[in-house]
């Protein structure tokens, strides 16, 4: 299949939301969300999700180099990973704050979900792929 990147760019532009295209539409949407959505701190969420994505990428990069680039796993590598995990938890906590969630409840609910998914506390490939309704 031959792709014409100019045509593809036109296609992408046609299916991109106005909020993604126009700063004023974005600002208006942020204001709508901030004013009309309880328990959702938009600015804090912007910080949280962009930070989580960036820090997760930095964490992944460490182990990409260890596994695929044959870099040694050293105490320095481990310490670097720990620092990135600290950054991840900082942004994760801000995501909880942005949504008005108690971080302890988020973890407790996750444990309950996983205990239900894996009865007896044992991993099963089948259970990981064929989940009950509502298990996300």
Dihedral (C-alpha) 132, 107, 112, 114: value to the nearest 10 degrees? 50
Q: What CA–CA distance (Å, rounded) separates 82 from 80?
A: 5
Q: Helices 23-36 and 42-68, interaxial angle, to 10°?
A: 110
Tell me, yes or no, whether 72 and 97 share the same domain. yes
Tell me, yes or no, whether 65 and 78 share the same domain. yes
Ordered mean pLDDT values, 10 residues apiece, the chain (136 residues): 92 96 96 90 96 98 98 98 98 97 97 92 89 80
Residue 10 lies in a domain: no
Tell me, yes or no, whether 37 and 67 share the same domain. yes
Residue 76 lies in a domain: yes
Tell me, what's the pLDDT at 122? 93
Q: How many domains does the chain have?
A: 2
Tell me, yes or no, whether 81 and 34 share the same domain. yes
Tell me, yes or no, whether 41 and 72 share the same domain. yes
Tell me, yes or no, whether 76 and 120 share the same domain. no
Tell me, yes or no, whether 123 and 91 share the same domain. no
Tell me, what's the pLDDT at 135? 81
Tell me, yes or no, whether 33 and 74 share the same domain. yes
Tell me, what's the pLDDT at 127? 87
Q: What CA–CA distance (Å, rounded) separates 19 from 26?
A: 5
What is the residue range of 64's domain? 29-101
Query: pTM of the prediction?
Result: 0.85
């Amino acid at each position: 299949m031959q792709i014409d990147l100019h045509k593809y760019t036109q296609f992408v532009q046609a299916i991109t939301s106005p909020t993604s295209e126009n700063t004023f539409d974005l600002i208006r949407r942020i204001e709508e969300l901030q004013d009309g959505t309880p328990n959702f701190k938009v600015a804090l969420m912007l910080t949280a999700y962009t930070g989580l994505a960036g820090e997760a990428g930095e964490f992944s990069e460490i182990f990409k180099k260890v596994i695929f680039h044959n870099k040694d796993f050293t105490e320095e590598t481990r310490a670097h990973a720990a620092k990135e995990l600290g950054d991840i938890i900082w942004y994760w906590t801000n995501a909880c704050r942005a949504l008005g969630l108690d971080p302890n409840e988020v973890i407790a609910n996750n444990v309950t979900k996983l205990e239900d998914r894996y009865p007896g506390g044992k991993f099963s490939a089948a259970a990981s792929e064929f989940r009950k309704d509502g298990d996300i």
